[in-house]
Structure 1
Amino acid sequence: MHNASSATTETTPTPPYTPPTRPGRLWAISDIHLSFKANREALEKLLPHPNDDLILCGDVGESAEHCRIAFAKATECFRQVFWVPGNHELYTLPSQKEQGCRGEDKYMECVEVAREFGILTPEDEYTLWEGEGGPCLIAPIFTLYDYSFRPDHVKLEDALEWAREEQIEATDEHLLHPDPYTSRIEWCNALVEKTERKLSAAVTAHPNIELIIVGHWPLREDLVKLFRVPRFSLWCGTKKTEDWHNKYNAKIVISGHLHIRRTDWIDGTRFEEVSLGYPRQWQECQDSGLDINDLLREILPGPETPPEGERNTVWRRYG
């Protein structure tokens, strides 16, 4: 027979002590180019950050399989992962011939792979991030380019020939198809219009929350400093996005594509170029004992904003 009085003396076991979870951090890297064996081996060294989030800012590779390799490792190591496409994800490789997805279909193929892993893309709603340095709204975008990053004296119809004068032509001209659009410029225009509507709605809905704008291509031409191949700028963005950091209340803008790591401050917004690059481009880092973990960029909380007058470009040769 159950004794009611004894029930009052029963106690619930004390749960084991769990240390408080610190607010998560936000990291980013781009241009890991998994078509290179050395970069695939480097990715395998990625360390666990179970409380942190990671942005993959484009150019993980050219195929759905490259995406799966990147997404599997990233989601194994991080709490939440974000991805935006670069030009390489959009390629239809010659080996695929007529069987390969082209243009918008190739992009959506990558989006579907991302969804298999629970990764957020430009096709998802922007995410309120409340970790260390937040709250912020993470806004993955896809804008492409329209050949407008060129000197004023070079007309659009002469732009490709202008680049070819220096033996420069992006592989995009042969592998990045604009289907169903008639040109990459038309596709870019449609993407920019779509993205502007989405960013405007986000700012209207969250007027007091700053954005983290995440896109593979730089938003501003003045951040495209290609010392060895300056005329490659044609394939690096669109002038239509130059004022987006102000227009859409951006705390930080993250990009890749250039394979030249740097941090800049413009109008109080921090701009981060977070490329890893081809193996030969970061060999010097490896020779110094660094690996992919050292080349992850801490986005939030990130560095303190320097005082006015001291906001010079930080060149991040070693991450």
Structure 2
Amino acid sequence: MIPSRVWVTSDIHIDYQDNFDQLVAFAEQGHPGDALIIAGDASDRMEKLQALFEALVPRFRHVLFIPGNHELWVKRSQFSDSLEKFHAIRALCERCGVKSGPLQFGAFHKVWLVPLFSWYDDKDQPKHSLYVEKDYAADRTDDIWGDFVHARWPQGLDQPLAELFADMNESSLSRQYPDPVISFSHFLPRQDLIFHKAVEESLRMARHFDPLPEFNFSRVAGSTRIEEQLRRLGSALHIYGHQHRNRLRNVDGVTYFSHCMGYPKERERGHVSADATKPACVWRDDTGFCL
């Protein structure tokens, strides 16, 4: 008997046809008892999202999805702001049979799959920001980062965006989960996940090898609000995306895993491994966690 499995991926960027085709080819291999988690950044085009969902949902027992930052771009859409589009994406998920709330999964062993909606805290929210100063270059992140051009928020919104999205998770956090929890967010929950090595050593290396010294990713990486929430959940495994740099870390009893498909050019250059074109299996209901 084939076990039921949980597969994860993120940053699939299906505006690249090769990425779309690779994911559909994987789905067609046969996963009728499996769950697939997509941790954001599929496309900013609603028609592309619908095509993706319609291709995947019939081939899995469950497909789970949360929006990333790209989904909330509104520059080439009919939506008045990014919050309106967020709710439209959730409605699209519901129509297509895509899950965006907590889900118990498995037959023999069981696990809970719990999405955490999120955004990033910039340096003006020091309590929750993942910001690390680059003291070797002028910061032009405001000019370079696409969200500051393509996303648009309601006028008069005085709540930090990361707090607004974190508040949406309260109903999930108030529930009891008697089985192990796999949580997932698009954005990073911890500063140390940004870096391949220790922060200090990474910054020393960046002085010599940083390809974009004027762009400070840490400003838009994530928020410790996510970390606080996944700890409240008691997550055993947390899936995240956004950075296009895949990581597997264990910190204080929680395993953090990023498995981003990324852009084709990133795979060609080795920034993202070639096997990231396929989702990764993180849990099976016959043996449990498999990372």
Range of TM-score over shorter length: 0.7 to 0.9
C-alpha distance in 2, partners of 1:82/1:181?
32
Are 2:142 and 2:148, in contact at CA under 8 Å, matched by a contact in 1?
A: no
Measured after TM superposition, the shift of residue 44 of structure 1 is 3.5
Q: Secondary structure at the match of 2:174?
A: helix
Q: What TM-score do you get using the length of structure 2 for normalisation?
A: 0.79
Alignment of 1:1-319 (within 5 A): 21-46=1-26, 47-93=29-75, 95-96=76-77, 99-121=78-100, 124=101, 126-131=102-107, 134-147=109-122, 148-151=129-132, 163-164=139-140, 169-179=144-154, 182=157, 186-195=160-169, 197-202=170-175, 205-206=176-177, 208-225=178-195, 228=210, 229=212, 231-283=216-268, 292=277, 295-301=278-284
C-alpha distance in 2, partners of 1:257/1:45?
23
Are 1:145 and 1:188, in contact at CA under 8 Å, matched by a contact in 2?
A: yes
| Unaligned segments of structure 2, at least 5 residues | 123-128, 197-205
Alignment RMSD (CA, Å): 2.9
Q: Secondary structure at the match of 1:182?
A: coil
C-alpha distance in 1, partners of 2:107/2:157?
42
CA distance change for structure 1 residues 74 and 180 in 2, over 3 Å: closer, same or farther? farther
Q: Deviations over 1:63-82 (max 9, x none)?
A: 11121122122213211100
Are 2:7 and 2:283, in contact at CA under 8 Å, matched by a contact in 1?
A: yes
CA distance change for structure 1 residues 167 and 248 in 2, over 3 Å: closer, same or farther? closer
| Unaligned segments of structure 1, at least 5 residues | 1-20, 155-160, 306-319
Q: Secondary structure at the match of 1:34?
A: coil
Residue 182 of structure 1 aligns to which amino acid in structure 2? L
Are 1:91 and 1:176, in contact at CA under 8 Å, matched by a contact in 2?
A: yes
Q: Deviations over 1:49-93 (max 9, x none)?
A: 111110111001111112112212221321110000000000013
Q: Secondary structure at the match of 2:7?
A: strand
Measured after TM superposition, the shift of residue 290 of structure 1 is 5.3
- Name the counterpart of 1:8: none
Measured after TM superposition, the shift of residue 277 of structure 1 is 0.3
Measured after TM superposition, the shift of residue 187 of structure 1 is 2.5
C-alpha distance in 2, partners of 1:28/1:267?
22
Q: Deviations over 1:225-260 (max 9, x none)?
A: 286457111111112233444332101100111111
C-alpha distance in 2, partners of 1:281/1:152?
25
Q: Deviations over 1:86-131 (max 9, x none)?
A: 00000013x44xx33421111111112211221111xx3x111225
Measured after TM superposition, the shift of residue 289 of structure 1 is 8.0
C-alpha distance in 2, partners of 1:167/1:146?
14
Are 2:82 and 2:151, in contact at CA under 8 Å, matched by a contact in 1?
A: yes
Report which of the two structures shows the higher radius of gyration computed on alpha carbons: 1
C-alpha distance in 2, partners of 1:92/1:289?
31
CA distance change for structure 1 residues 171 and 209 in 2, over 3 Å: closer, same or farther? same
Same amino acid, percent of matched pairs: 22
Measured after TM superposition, the shift of residue 181 of structure 1 is 5.7
Moved beyond 6 Å, runs of 4+: none
Measured after TM superposition, the shift of residue 303 of structure 1 is 5.6
